[in-house]
Amino acid sequence: MGERGPDFSSFGRESILESDRRELLRRPQEVFDSPLEDAARQHLSVLERLADNLDISRHVGEVDLAVERGETRRSHPSIKIAWTINSKRAWLLSLTPMSEGRGIEAGTFGYVGQYGKATLDENNEWEFSGGPVSLEQLYKVPAGLRLIVKPTASRWAVGREREVTMLYGESARTFYMGIGLLLLGHPWMHIGFHEAGHLPDTDDEIDAWQKGNANYAKLHVHQKDKIISGKSYGLFDVLGEPKWSKKNPTIGEIMKYGLAYPWTQGPQIPDTWRRDAAEVQRRFQDIIEAAHEAFNQGLR
């Protein structure tokens, strides 16, 4: 047998992720409500990166990432992202692979997501304490709809995809989640409320933000006094004063990033937002860079 040639298996994948990063720097608004085909392409690159990683447990900044291999090498791994509250408690996002078929036809076509408080077990791993909620419950997805999660490096989107509806029914919707942004911090989980705000059929960006933020606000009806007094920053820590922490964007800042490009259009955008649009977009470009760096650090 001849000598084995060089392994270029990762070249195309890295080129896709790198070219996609450059494209997002030109069009940062596509981090939110990404075109489904672009999110799908980034998702496939992420799956290949996951396949290269054995079981891992890493700290990415202040966030814990755990990837646990399935029963076989072909199985997609489970993914856990924990945002620590203190040395013994955390908020945990758990993505569990959903497998379909048997034998050679078996495959994983998405993940089911759960979220809740967690504690460290005897193996020093984060496990849910009490009952977690599904992402459908968390984001107040319209009744009857189901989210099939597909992790990406930075693109977020929700929508109907033929492959997913064929496997899981007409009520299934693909939900792309940007792991790189989640590794930057807990506040970025709030993007999911905006994505769910598009369901079942809301196309307008501002309407989707308003619906998502209204659903988020319903979770804090009994915490109003604590939030006003600064004793609580709400779920995901996004209800603080603007710039209360350089590491934690507020709900308003996240919304501004999501609307950075369309600010020059439409009468619904405040004039103060228009004046700040260029600076906000520049800041968001820095965040996109940081998200890809965090993703590469977590999944080398």
Cβ atoms of 42 and 174 closer than 8 Å: no
**Per-residue confidence (pLDDT) for residue 263, from 0 to 100:** 53
d(CA 149, CA 192): 11
Least Cα distance to 186 among 275, 20, 63 occurs for: 63
d(CA 194, CA 175): 12
d(CA 104, CA 243): 52
Torsion (CA) 46, 48, 49, 53 in degrees, nearest 10: 130
Partners of 97 in the β-ladder: 111
d(CA 78, CA 75): 9
CA 134 from centre of chain: 14
**Per-residue confidence (pLDDT) for residue 211, from 0 to 100:** 97
Cβ burial of 160 (10 Å; 0-12, 13-18, 19+) is middle
d(CA 282, CA 24): 12
What contacts 24+ positions apart, CB below 8 Å, involve 23-26?
24/154, 24/155, 24/288, 25/285, 25/288, 25/289
Least Cα distance to 52 among 11, 3, 95, 6 occurs for: 11
d(CA 45, CA 51): 10
**Per-residue confidence (pLDDT) for residue 52, from 0 to 100:** 76
d(CA 214, CA 192): 13
d(CA 258, CA 283): 12
Neighbours of 239 (CB within 10 A): 23
If you ran DSSP here, which 8-state letter would residue 6 be given?
A: -
Query: Can you give the residue ranges of every domain in the chain?
Result: 13-298
- Three-state DSSP class for 248? coil
Spell out the per-residue pLDDT of the chain, length 300, in tens: 333 333 334 445 567 889 999 999 999 989 999 999 999 999 999 988 888 766 889 999 889 999 987 665 556 789 999 999 998 999 999 999 987 544 444 456 799 999 999 999 988 899 999 889 999 999 999 999 999 999 999 999 999 999 899 989 999 999 999 999 999 999 999 999 999 999 999 998 889 999 999 999 999 988 888 888 888 889 999 998 765 445 689 999 999 898 866 554 555 677 777 778 888 889 999 999 999 999 999 988
**Per-residue confidence (pLDDT) for residue 103, from 0 to 100:** 45
Strands 146-152 and 172-178: parallel
If you ran DSSP here, which 8-state letter would residue 177 be given?
A: E
